[in-house]
Structure 1
Amino acid sequence: MDIPGIYHDWIIWIGDGTGLPDAILHIHAGMAILLIVRLVSKRSLGTFIPFWAVVAAEFGNELLDYLHYGLRVHDTLTDIGNTLFWPLVISLGVRVRPMAHRDRPQD
């Protein structure tokens, strides 16, 4: 069974079905994974747990791309940047924002 080939066909099907370019699909996928993991895990974005799930998913995506296409450094770096940029910015923003009074630990 050619799992990288099946995965590639599925990704092409999504791209063709949506009409969106690969870069935009990476941005949407990163954000969707971030929010789904946030909701399922019930962990704050500031814990970086949802962000690390995005990193793991992108690693898996790039591994399957590598197994299907071989090494394509520019494409891989672009995909990683598009997928991780906004989830990282949001996670950092939540992490460094001042905590609301109602969320502060009681002394």
Structure 2
Amino acid sequence: LSTYVAAVEEELNVCRAIIGGRKVNNMVACSCGGIIGAAQVHLQAKRQERSISTPTFLVSVLDTHMDSPATLFVDEQTLEAAKRHSYQPGVLEGRDMAKVFAWMRPNDLIWNYWVN
């Protein structure tokens, strides 16, 4: 997580340099919400929490202790299979993730439109 938080900190510095300002508005979605949330806690600990003016979280899970529909499909064996499947290419393909999302409230999600 520290690598992601450091990358967010670098991203904020680059954005501030581009806009010539002290504060950046930030909009994130999905799993990036947790990363930006962690980065905000990190910045607050460093007394730099004001570098993000307005964080906006779209469909972001910030409390990972709550069960979600995705946990119905996840166990140690499934996680290990996903790691093995994504190890060589370095990513888990969107179409593979779409297969999981297809089982979860398919009429409510936009993922299949994005992938297809």
TM-score, normalised with respect to structure 1: 0.34
* Larger RCO, structure (CA 8 Å, separation 6 or more): 1
TM-score, normalised with respect to structure 2: 0.32
More strand by share: 2
